[in-house]
């Protein structure tokens, strides 16, 4: 019974904390997503004022994605195509990003990229303004390969309440020269701002649940 009381307290606390996070994320947003100029963000000539954004034409570089996955606790092998994916981060580039021209020139120069000569310098992304976080892909095998042209992606900038894990930062630093995690925007695809009513309701409801669990817990310590 004591464990149930603790669970109720924890659930209430988590609900209240989620309400606080939703309030922080939704502050200053509009219900309709606003268009952002990804090229201007890459060049440092623009900033985000409304976290609820829409990307126009851009390139998703799945070559450089990182992902969190889950395996059975009894599994001892490396993850495979069927391993469950929790979330994926992948870079998005404007159509004017110099990396795209560098890749095109590299492919023209080296027709067989599987057998590169000694000294060939593979292009790398140096202007990176945004990473997209998605839960769209359920397994590693579902994650696309290469670079894909996309448009109309909407979501919420979540830097206010989320950050990359240390191992994710290490992987990105290996792939991107000069990568600075605190200067890259994290856009969660499909996430929308919560209304004030919803946020306040989550905080209040979670607080009430946590308090009920607490008083129920201490009532068990009272002597008859």
pLDDT in tens, 156-203: 999 988 899 999 999 998 888 778 898 999 999 999 886 565 656 666
pLDDT tens digit string along 107-165? 888 877 677 777 788 888 889 999 999 999 999 999 998 899 999 999 999 998 889 99
Structure tokens that stand for 70 in this block: 């889950």
Contact between 207 and 16 under an 8 Å Cβ cutoff? The reply is yes
> What's the pTM value of the predicted model, to 2 decimals?
0.78
pLDDT at position 134 is: 96
Q: How far is CA 103 from CA 5, 82, 92, 109, 141, in A?
A: 58, 30, 15, 10, 25
pLDDT at position 19 is: 61
């Amino acid at each position: 019974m004591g464990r149930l009381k603790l669970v109720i307290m924890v659930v209430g606390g988590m609900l209240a904390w989620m309400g606080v996070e939703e309030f922080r994320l939704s502050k200053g947003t509009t219900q309709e997503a606003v268009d952002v100029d990804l090229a201007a963000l890459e060049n440092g000539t623009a900033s985000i004022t409304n976290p609820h954004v829409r990307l126009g034409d851009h390139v998703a570089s799945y070559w450089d994605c990182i992902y969190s996955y889950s395996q059975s606790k009894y599994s001892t092998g490396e993850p495979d195509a069927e391993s469950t994916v929790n979330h994926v981060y992948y870079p998005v580039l404007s159509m004017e990003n110099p990396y795209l021209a560098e890749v095109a020139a590299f492919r023209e120069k080296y027709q067989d990229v599987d057998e590169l000569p000694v000294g060939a310098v593979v292009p790398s992304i140096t202007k990176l303004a945004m990473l997209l976080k998605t839960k769209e892909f359920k397994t590693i095998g579902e994650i696309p390969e290469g670079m894909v042209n996309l448009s109309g992606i909407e979501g919420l900038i979540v830097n206010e309440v989320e950050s990359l894990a240390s191992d994710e930062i290490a992987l990105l630093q290996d792939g991107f020269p000069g990568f600075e995690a605190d200067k890259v925007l994290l856009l969660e695809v499909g996430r929308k701002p919560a209304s004030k009513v919803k946020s306040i309701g989550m905080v209040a409801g979670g607080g009430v649940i946590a308090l009920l669990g607490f008083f129920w817990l201490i009532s068990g310590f009272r002597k008859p």
